[in-house]
Structure 1
Amino acid sequence: MISKIDSAIIIIYILGLLVIGWFLGKENKDQEDYFLAGRSMPWLPIGLSVAATMISANSFVGAPGWAYNAGIAPFMVNIGVPLAIFFVVYTTIPVLYHLKLTSIYEYVEKRLGISSRMLTVIGFLVNSIIQISSMVFVPALILQRITGWDLKLIVPIVVLSSIIYTLLGGIKAVIWTDAVQMVIMWCGLIFSIGLILKGIGMGFFETIAVAKESGKLAALDFSLDISKTNAFWASLFGGTIMWIRYFGFDQGQVQRILTAKSIRGVKNSFMVSAFIMNILYFLFLTIGILLFVFYKGKEFTSSNDIMIDFIVNHLPVGVVGLVIAGAFAAAMSSIDSLLNSMSTVFVKDIYERFFSKDHQEASLKMSMTVSAVWGVVIIIFTLLGFSGTTKSVLETVGSYISYISGPMCGAFFLALFTTKANDKGVTGGVVLGFFITLMFGKYAGASWIWKPAVGLVSTYSVGYLLSLILPSSKTEEEIKEYTVLGLRKKLLDSGLVEEDGVSIVPLKMDKYT
């Protein structure tokens, strides 16, 4: 059972988040404040928030479990992150920033039409429900092991804690609490590494040498075997597409980036988030390798149990509370961000588009109510979708969302990089692209990481061909400024090429790019 000291640390931590949410929420007056913080946020907490969302509790527990079995090779999944960041900063983000959007799916309707917008909205919501449910599951699993309580009790507690401070403070609370939670995560990480080494009784490099002898440091695999998840080519192509969707076309990430005061803040936020995210992920994998030596290669029924067993059975009083708070920090930094973004998308893309009289802006009260309803959906999906999984939860989530990443990327690529794509063509392309990805996953015997690439290529190809055949409701002149090349020409012709000394033009190299 957890000690009173550890319980106190966790309770103080959660109460602290609620206080921050309440304090920041006092200034929220309307929807713009709730969803975009009045576009006034400094870049550093934004960057920390984006990184914190990706390094969720899945990484805190799932990454060590994955590395325990597969070694350092799972880091290959992240080699596409720098390429993805370069791509979105160089091409797509200037377009979305220029339009001053609240939901990036508003862009899809402006450029293509309502059918494509609804498909990308559905893709985002399904993707987010899968991700956020897994992020709830991990800390709930830890608490279950410690307390013996039923998941049906623990999951609502975890979700409700996140809902309350998200409702109280909106996106401002999300970003600032994520920044605080990043610090907590680092503390939990450092304590874990130090105590594992102390338990092994060897120095860091001696321990790594033992892991190397067991084959845990083999990272580069240039095999063309498509069944391997961590092979170089799979990670380079499939992984990069997955990260482009994440950083460039996912409301959860782009919404926080668009709260920045300027384009300089946007680009700084991207760089900070990618840098910190990769370092943290690498260190979580390193913990898995150290635990392999600590447990002397002992087999576990579930890879998710490895880190949990270490926390529960091998950490001293006080540190247990800190590390569990770190796991909660990782979970809540992801839950709050996605919860706010799902609410944003539902309000802007569904409620205001179809149910609000004369498309009037939804009230702050309605926006908060939507957040609460999504919380209930998350609780239900978590209990149905993740109970009983024995694989690394990180790998399980990657497998689930890989079917969605490619078609979503394909829709945005068609919108941003062609003038031929139209609503009917892209709609058909997304549907058929998803079906092709589904068949590829079922019959090709390939790893899940290839699916985003297959989904992108099939969606783009089919969508483009259908757009040439099917009539468009928009003229080329109407859509030009919504493409990368069209906006570039417009900005260059008008002489508006910089903001605060930083380029706002797509396809323009600057020091950030």
Structure 2
Amino acid sequence: MISTIDGIIILVYILGMLAVGYFMGKDNETQEDYFLAGRSMPWLPIALSVAATMISANAFIGGPGWAYGSGLAPFMVNITVPLAIFFAFFASTPVIYQLKVTSVYQYMEYRLGPITRILTVLQFFINSLIQVSSMVFIPSLILQTITGWSLTVIVPLIVTAAIIYTITGGIKAVIWTDVIQTVIVWGGMFLAIFIALKRLDMGLFETLGQAKAAGKFHTLDFGFSLTNTNAFWASLIGGTVMWVRYFSFDQAQMQRVLTAKSMKGVKKSFLSSAFIMNIMYFLMLTVGLILWVFYGGKEFESSNQVMIGFILEEMPVGVVGLVIAGAFAAAMSSVDSILNSLTTVFIKDIYEKYFFKGKEGQSEASLKLTMTISAVFGVIIIFFVIIGFSGTVKSVLDVVGKYISYFSGPACGAFLLAMFTNKANDKGVATGFILGMIGTFFISTSLGTSWLWNPAIGAALSVAIGYIASMIFPATKKTEDIKQYTAQGMRAKLIAEGKTEEDGVSILPFSMDKYAIIALVFFVSQYILLALIQ
């Protein structure tokens, strides 16, 4: 059980998040304020928010445990993040940014039609509910071990707090609370490192030297394996497709970026998030290496127990509360972002399209209804976690998490066809999406491939089948009407209009500017660093 002081620290943290939500939301008057902060957010908070969503409590507690057993190899899953960011700069984001959409799935109807729009919306809902549930449930199990509280207390506490400040503050509250939560997570990591090294009475490099001598720094495995998730080719090919979908075509990420004041802000926030996200993840793995030396490599019941045991046994009163607040922070920063994005997609892609009947002069759903929908989604998440993920949930989560990869590839393939071909049409791409998802499932189960290969397999199948099917099904839109929604067409349109730069930054697709170059240099530098330390 945690001490009274630690409990007070956790309570103060949660109340602080609610206060931030309230003050951030006082000026919200319209949907654009609620969903996109009036497109006026500074770039640095956006970058921290994007990174915070991905560095969930699973990574905050589980990351050190993974490194304890596998060394730095799990970093390979994240290594292509800068390459995906480069793709976003170079091709996809300039198109979506210029259209001023609220939901990225609106783009799919502009370019293709309603069938592919609803398919990509459905995959987003399924993906998000599974993802957010795992981001809440596993940390809740961990917090249950640490605090002794029941899951029926912890889960509603995490989600309800996120619901309240997300409803009251909208996307501004999501972004600014993520900033605070990122700082808390960083603090938790550095406290763990400091305390472990102090107990060991060793320097950082001496400690890591012992881990290196034991082979914990081995990361670059060039063997072509379909089953090894952390291998070079799986991470380069499958990981790139996975992260391209995530950073270019996923509402949870694009919505934060679309709140930026300008394309310069978009590029700064995206590039910074890549650095923050990968450095944070690397540090979490480093904590695991230090703990491996600290515990002399002894075996634990599960990987999560490494960090949990260290928190409970080694950290002093007060610090425990701060670290647990960090776990809450990591969980809540994932919940708030996905909750806001679920609401956005439901309102823009389903409610306003199929059910909205506004009063005279009303073109969009009211802010009150929008906030109500957020609350409903929050309650769904609570019940989904407690009821649907009880008992032997952890193994179920592993299985269901793999299923996410079955449709993330086809979703990416659908967007690629829409953005980079003139031939793709609604029925053809929808056919490619569905058959690509089925094909990925059968290939994966037949060959036993790692889940990281599935996005690449699904994208390849969807692009090939979708393009062929588009030549069979008649097009419902004229070529001249859809060209402006492709990357090449948008580039030609902007050049013709004399709109090539904004705030000193290129807004053209296929433009190689300093931000794109820095992303590529960062991507390559990671391999060089891993090769040197290996």
Q: Name the TM tier (shorter chain).
A: over 0.9
How much does 1:192 deviate?
0.8
Q: Is 1:66 matched up with 2:66? A: yes
Q: Could you tell me which residue of structure 2 aligns to residue 275 of structure 1?
A: 275
Distance 2:237 2:440 in 1: 15
CA 402–387 in structure 1, closer or farther in 2 if over 3 Å, else same: farther
What are the equivalent positions in structure 2 for 1:269-348 lying under 5 Å apart?
A: 269-348=269-348
How much does 1:241 deviate?
0.6
How much does 1:129 deviate?
0.9
Give the counterpart of 1:408 among 387, 408, 411: 411
**Normalising by structure 2, what TM-score?**
0.93
Do the aligned partners of 2:421 and 2:486 also contact (CA within 8 Å) in 1? yes
Q: Is 1:370 matched up with 2:373? A: yes
Do the aligned partners of 2:92 and 2:509 also contact (CA within 8 Å) in 1? yes
What are the equivalent positions in structure 2 for 1:34-49 lying under 5 Å apart?
A: 34-49=34-49
Do the aligned partners of 2:130 and 2:401 also contact (CA within 8 Å) in 1? no
How much does 1:493 deviate?
1.4
Give the counterpart of 1:481 among 478, 481, 484: 484
Do the aligned partners of 1:137 and 1:386 also contact (CA within 8 Å) in 2? no
Q: Could you tell me which residue of structure 1 aligns to residue 499 of structure 2?
A: 496
Do the aligned partners of 1:433 and 1:458 also contact (CA within 8 Å) in 2? yes
Q: Could you tell me which residue of structure 1 aligns to residue 178 of structure 2?
A: 178
Do the aligned partners of 2:184 and 2:329 also contact (CA within 8 Å) in 1? yes
- Look up the equivalent residue of 1:66 and give its one-letter code: W
Do the aligned partners of 1:301 and 1:390 also contact (CA within 8 Å) in 2? no
Q: Could you tell me which residue of structure 2 aligns to residue 133 of structure 1?
A: 133
What are the equivalent positions in structure 2 for 1:78-227 lying under 5 Å apart?
A: 78-227=78-227
Unaligned runs of 5+ in 1: none
Q: Alignment partner of 2:515: what SS?
A: coil
Distance 1:397 1:449 in 2: 14
Do the aligned partners of 1:103 and 1:349 also contact (CA within 8 Å) in 2? yes
Distance 2:123 2:218 in 1: 35
Do the aligned partners of 2:142 and 2:304 also contact (CA within 8 Å) in 1? no
Distance 1:147 1:249 in 2: 38
Distance 1:459 1:48 in 2: 33
Q: Is 1:385 matched up with 2:423? A: no
What are the equivalent positions in structure 2 for 1:235-246 lying under 5 Å apart?
A: 235-246=235-246
Distance 1:72 1:280 in 2: 13
Q: Could you tell me which residue of structure 2 aligns to residue 438 of structure 1?
A: 441
Do the aligned partners of 2:72 and 2:216 also contact (CA within 8 Å) in 1? yes
Do the aligned partners of 2:428 and 2:467 also contact (CA within 8 Å) in 1? yes
Do the aligned partners of 2:146 and 2:308 also contact (CA within 8 Å) in 1? no
- Look up the equivalent residue of 2:55 and give its one-letter code: I
Distance 1:389 1:313 in 2: 27
Distance 2:455 2:115 in 1: 22
Q: Is 1:349 matched up with 2:349? A: yes
Pick which of 406-415 and 127-136 moved more. 127-136
CA 389–64 in structure 1, closer or farther in 2 if over 3 Å, else same: farther
Pick which of 368-377 and 88-97 moved more. 368-377
Distance 2:357 2:268 in 1: 39
Q: Alignment partner of 1:512: what SS?
A: helix
CA 412–303 in structure 1, closer or farther in 2 if over 3 Å, else same: same
Q: How many residues align?
A: 512
Do the aligned partners of 1:303 and 1:392 also contact (CA within 8 Å) in 2? no
Distance 1:40 1:12 in 2: 29
How much does 1:304 deviate?
2.2
Distance 2:236 2:27 in 1: 44
Post-superposition CA distance 1:383-410 (Å, at most 9, x none): 32375456798x7786342222201100
Distance 2:282 2:455 in 1: 23
Post-superposition CA distance 1:200-255 (Å, at most 9, x none): 33222222122123221111100112110100011000001111011100100000
How much does 1:284 deviate?
0.5
Distance 1:194 1:267 in 2: 34
How much does 1:55 deviate?
0.9
Post-superposition CA distance 1:465-503 (Å, at most 9, x none): 000001111110110000000011111112111111111
What are the equivalent positions in structure 2 for 1:21-36 lying under 5 Å apart?
A: 21-36=21-36
Q: Alignment partner of 2:452: what SS?
A: helix
How much does 1:452 deviate?
0.6
Q: Could you tell me which residue of structure 2 aligns to residue 505 of structure 1?
A: 508
Post-superposition CA distance 1:106-160 (Å, at most 9, x none): 0001100111000000111111111111111233123211332321222111110
Do the aligned partners of 1:76 and 1:230 also contact (CA within 8 Å) in 2? yes
Do the aligned partners of 2:138 and 2:394 also contact (CA within 8 Å) in 1? no
Distance 1:338 1:164 in 2: 14
- Look up the equivalent residue of 1:213 and give its one-letter code: A
Distance 1:84 1:382 in 2: 31
**Normalising by structure 1, what TM-score?**
0.97
Distance 2:406 2:200 in 1: 41
- Look up the equivalent residue of 1:442 and give its one-letter code: T
Distance 2:185 2:399 in 1: 22
CA 62–53 in structure 1, closer or farther in 2 if over 3 Å, else same: same
CA RMSD in angstroms comes to 1.6
Do the aligned partners of 1:303 and 1:390 also contact (CA within 8 Å) in 2? no
Q: Could you tell me which residue of structure 2 aligns to residue 463 of structure 1?
A: 466
Distance 2:400 2:277 in 1: 17
- Look up the equivalent residue of 1:422 and give its one-letter code: N
- Look up the equivalent residue of 2:412 and give its one-letter code: C
